Structure 1
Amino acid sequence: MKKQSNAAPLIGCAGWNIPKEAAGSFPEAGSHLERYAAVLPVVEINSSFYKPHRPHTYARWAESVPEDFRFSVKVPRSITHDAAMRDIDDLLARFAGEVGELKHKLGCLLVQSPPKLGFHDQTARDFFLKLEDTFGCMMACEGRHPSWFSDIATEVLRERKVTRVIADPAAGQPGPHVPTTNDIYVRLHGAPRIYYSSYSQEYLDALAADLDVHSAAGRQVWCIFDNTAAGEAVPNALDVLRACKGGVLPAA
């Protein structure tokens, strides 16, 4: 599975639920995913973090979306949290057997570390090498302990070609963002109330301009809105998509 090269920023949400207020921007017919994928180019699957999905479920999702649509899939907590990224061969094989049914539509794997899990050099090197060997797609990492922003952590992420997530709010990050690859992966959790708050129009306009700069520089750009609890993610994503596309969205 190869990384997708895409001129436009890839803007989407953590999940494909469409709130009533935004329904007019999407087709009326089809499943929630089919309607979502007709307008937004990517989605982040977070449910995989909490529970496994059957291979045929991933296959059905892949068949429901356009050819150029891409999924980002969050690595299960059984691997990143419970096993702390160690001795995960059996867990990883199971996960690969499931998510592999997305085939070329698997665009990225998202790794999120627990806030109390510090960075361990050799563990991280081994872990990300196994992910690369198993999947071969883009990898993004949202570390949430301060040690994941250390010089040695930056070195390892760069060596393993893992994109450090730009998160808002950025848990554990002691200073400015330090990139680890030429790619961009932004996760917007909502502020001031995490998972709930909408972003201001001023923030969204500035974000769109910034994403366009990165995209014009040839970087693969992912921007995922995770402020889903009150249904703000989809309207925010649509606003940024409109701005990046000069005000034009695909016809609903």
Structure 2
Amino acid sequence: MPDHCYTGLPQWHHPDWSQSALHGSRQRSPLSRYAGHFSTVEGNSTFYALPDAETVQRWDADTPAGFRFCFKFPKRISHELKLKHCEAELRAFFDCVEPLGGKLGLLYLQLPAAFGPESLPQLSGFLQRLPDTFRYGLEVRHPAFFAKGEAERSLNRLLLETGINRTLFDTRALFALPATDPATLDALQKKPRVPLHVIATGSAPMIRFIAPQDYHQGLDWLEPWVGKVATWLDEGRTPFMFFHTPDNAESPELARLFADKLSTARPGVRGFSSWPDSLRQQEALF
């Protein structure tokens, strides 16, 4: 079976993509056009509200069999109830996304920065009760989980034991360079400034990479991911790579750049279908 690196963005529609290859024919939905090139997407909307059944059916119809949705657990579960007494909310979330079946990638739980080592027992019980019907990712933001101390070791042991993928958010390039543009200043306020400790605790490592507004300035941080993904593929893992920029206007080109580099390093790897250079040249005319 060919190597597969699922490659995607944090959204499938953006107003600044109207003149890009992702715009395409108006006969197709934004999701359908997106899925013609990318193999996965971050489903961040479920953090705020669950879609109705008709919407989920439409998402299914608009994507090919090989596409994977990575939905975020609702904030009601992670931030408000803090993983406690949330059985009904969990059931509603699972019932909502389950009709997508094999198109589900990772369901990922993003914990707030206030969720620290003292809550590890609560996290352990929560993770061990999750149904094995789905695959999961976990993103933490408390500083203790990045300090290379007992808290981080305990967290990693828990994830290794349960096979849950530690979701890594690589924000180094964003914070490394000075910025004055509004989009970057806003991102600097909202994105976590945490160290990057690269580890694969499950079969499907999930990486969220954010570059500066001029994504070419982030290449020194992007390049090592090509080698790491190739290593994971050698180990039989199936990575999920998501690419951000401060306003996401250039995130498709950032993802394309990574996919091109990975294809050079690992010919035949699947997970991204590029668009012709002629479309990029046409875009530059507008």
Shift in alpha-carbon separation, 1:251–1:161, aligned structure 2, 3 A: same
Distance in 1 between the 2:240 and 2:24 partners?
Answer: 24
Cα contact 1:9–1:212 (8 A) shared by 2:
no
Report the CA distance between 1:26 and its aligned residue.
6.5
Deviation, 1:215, is 1.6
State how far apart, in whole Å, the 2-side matches of 1:21 and 1:245 are. 27
Higher deviation after alignment, 150-159 or 210-219: 210-219
The question of whether the paired residues in 2 share the 8 Å contact of 1:139 and 1:162 is answered with: yes
Q: TM-score, normalised by structure 1?
A: 0.84
1:141 aligns with 2:138: yes
Distance (whole Å) between structure 1 residues aligned to residue 123 and residue 260 of structure 2: 38
Q: Which has the larger radius of gyration?
A: 2
> Alignment partner of 2:236: what SS?
coil
1:178-203: CA deviation from partner (whole Å, max 9, x where unpaired): 44234321011334xxxx56353454
User: Gapped runs of 5+ residues in structure 1?
Assistant: none
In structure 2, runs of 5+ residues without a counterpart are: 147-151, 173-191, 277-286
Distance 1:129 1:245, change over 3 A: same
The separation in 2 between residues aligned to 1:34 and 1:25, in whole angstroms, is: 9
Residue of structure 2 in register with 1:42 after alignment = 40
1:198 maps to 2:200: no
Check 1:95–1:231 CA distance in 2 against 1; reply closer, same or farther (3 A cut): same
What SS class does the counterpart of residue 109 from structure 1 fall into?
strand
| Structure 1 partner of 2:4 | 8
Is the CA contact 1:58–1:99 (under 8 Å) kept in the aligned structure 2? yes
211-220 vs 61-70, which deviates more? 211-220
Residue in structure 2 matched with residue 65 of structure 1 by the alignment: 63
CA–CA distance in structure 2, aligned partners of residues 42 and 175 of structure 1: 23
Q: Deviation digits for residues 196-242 of structure 1, max 9, x if unmatched? A: 56353454444334322322331110111233624122111121122
Against the structure 1 CA distance between its residues 92 and 211, is the aligned structure 2 distance closer, same or farther, given a 3 Å change threshold? same
Identity %: 23
Partner of 1:129: 128
CA distance in 1, matches of 2:22, 2:116: 43
SS of equivalent residue, structure 2 residue 237 = coil
Displacement of 1:117 in angstroms is 1.4
Q: Could you say which structure has the higher helix fraction?
A: 2
Aligned positions, number: 242
Compute the RMSD of aligned alpha carbons.
2.7
Per the alignment, residue 159 of structure 1 pairs with 161
2:232 maps to amino acid: H
CA distance in 2, matches of 1:220, 1:109: 15
Aligned residues of 1:125 and 1:160 also touching (Cα < 8 A) = no
> Does structure 1 residue 239 correspond to structure 2 residue 277?
no
**Aligned equivalent of 1:177, options 198, 202, 205:** 198
